[in-house]
Structure 1
Amino acid sequence: MTISRRKAIALVGGGVILAAAATTGYRVTRSPQAAVKPWELAGTYAEPRQKALSFALLSPNPHNLQPWLVDLSEPDTVVLYANPDKLLPETDPMSRQITIGLGAFLEVMRIAAAQDGFRVDLDYFPDGFDAKALDTRPIARAVFVKDAAQDPDPLFAHVLTRRSNKEPYDTSRPVSGSTVEVLKAASSDLAFGSTLDAEDIAYFRDLTTKALFVELNTPRTHMESVEVFRIGHKEVDASPDGIDLSGPMFESLKLAGLFDREQAADPTSMSFQAGLDMVAGYCETAMGYVWLTTATNTRIDQLNAGRNWVRVNLAATGMGLGIHPLSQALQEYPEMAAHYRDIHARLAPEGGTVQMFGRIGYGPDLPPSPRWSLEHKIVAS
């Protein structure tokens, strides 16, 4: 199979890695076809790095932009870069969230490598970093080492079925404290917080709804999302990244001329108002919350937050629990400042940074998110 360069997300060199295969029920009428091929056609690479990367491609990341680039030109080594075309300057002006997504990529790569008996030695930012913006310097250098003492990670079992479940949750089904303890155990080296308290849930339902409304009612931040909308199966197939708005409802609205980017961007349109109602409804079904905090807010903190967050998400998947990151109140642009202060006063009163925050609950099973293939540089052995 060949994949055009237009349908690959990495920039360094040539070659293609497809994401690891999964058995799903995603192929339904008017659903994306090419966009889900990565889930169906790969995952059987003999070369250890390629195999691990085919799983890492399935990691969560902001707006599903898949901001990773890799260089495989050095033997036994993966050098990870951030794709400068996949940043979110309006909602993520410091690229904190993008860095968290890159951390998740590294952790899933490590988990997948461990399954085949490889230890991955990570060197973060080997050429340094800019605290205010990501640049062309490498994010991490990862060396694969065959290690007889390397045990498989049990979370690997959930890599192919992990989702960020952004659907409404079942409000008749509570989440237990013991379930949350499993999530906490998955994030063993970062400060993990949680609440199932009714008063806290009411407070955060309100706060997250208000923060979402700030993002949606601020034209430049809302347009950053609208520009990466993929409306309908044809757009998703043409650009299998960004925000997937396919499925029967969106297909029907698009065909009827009731939903497009122009209407989504217009605050006076029915589509815009329906979008507000939809996201508010999601927030109102939270059955608890989890979060991760760090004492400082360095790039290394952000990478570690991503590594820990994906582990929490994988553990949740293993229990059939939905988890939906609600990052709006954590964003560092002026219009969000009041909500940023509020959530930090509530969750980090002694100082520090709330890196990730999300609602939990039991919801529907989800299809895979569309994924690009991963283009990279390979030197023949």
Structure 2
Amino acid sequence: MIPIALPLLAEDEAEAARAAVLSGWVSQGPQVAAFEQEFATLVGAPHACAVSSCTSALHIALKALGIRAGDEVIVPSHSFIATANCVRYCDATPVFVDIEAETYNIDPARVAEAITPRTRAIIAVHQMGMPCDVTALATLADRHGIFLVEDAACAAGSMIRIDQNWEPVGRPRGAIACFSFHPRKVITTGEGGMLTTADPALDRKFRLLRQHGMSVPDTVRHGSRQVLFEDYLMVGFNYRMTDIQAAIGRKQLERLPELVARRRALAARYTELLGNIEGLVLPFEPDWARSNWQSYCVLLPDRIDQRGVMQRLLDQDIATRRGIMCSHREAPYANGAPRHDLRWSEHAQDHAILLPLYAQLTEKDQERIAAALRAGLEF
């Protein structure tokens, strides 16, 4: 079986987890603090705060920015449903806008059309690791006095060219960037997330919100030679990362450059193998973007049955996934007609498929996948 994804975890990660377990400190502690510092250094962000998932990161981000009932947050429908759900967690309204047909990323032109006096923030998703046009989005946010939050769940290791310099995704162009370490991502801690920001006041809020609003962290209280009593300064959450996860994450960070290089090579090979299939649209990488290729997404010809192709590949032990979901089609958001045209989002969900991509994928595997896809389209 060729799976859709496979995390690269080895003895280094196992030993790091073992050391954390044997240290006696397994909840949020020194490994988390070290992971935060190393991640911040890697992406060039002044501050990084580790949490339990990217969903919790997005929720904390919006809470820290003061998003509340009556506010609108512009989001792509073409994203995992967590992006929209986090807006609802704050009793605010997600306003869905369409994507660019080529990149599958939120369209700045559609964002501009969607801004109203109630708009407080934009959530820009770097979909499948492909950087979105944060320069245009940041300009829009600044012009209208609203916040830009980057949903960088898939984008650890991706790069953007800013003023002729290549910069990592995660050095926030807006207020906050949020990452995921789910096993489908390029690096993993099992579950886990990270927020990065240049604003120290926001970072302080993150740290309160992730731990029930507690004023004195466990590490400070347990390490103090004086008795300390904590206060609870706001209604917070239990969104902490464990030291076991962080220890694994630190080893994964060491692998990130080689993992991205390997994925870029695999993506290039897919492009060679699939480039001459009539009607098949391959992924587009703008010249100002360097994707980590968290996923390799191909668009099928309109006449081709998406489910049928996927089933034929699965019958040959090749796993795929359909195009990224559209949140506005799901039950929590399907009560009324979308305010904006979402045709490219729907087209991508209905006609795109994601092919297997992970570091351990071999050239023989890719040739087998390409041959099966070619035959599936000719069925």
Q: Under a length normalisation based on structure 1, what TM-score does the superposition of the two structures give?
A: 0.23
Larger RCO of the pair (alpha carbons < 8 Å, separation 6+): 1
TM-score by length of 2: 0.24
Q: Which has the larger radius of gyration?
A: 2
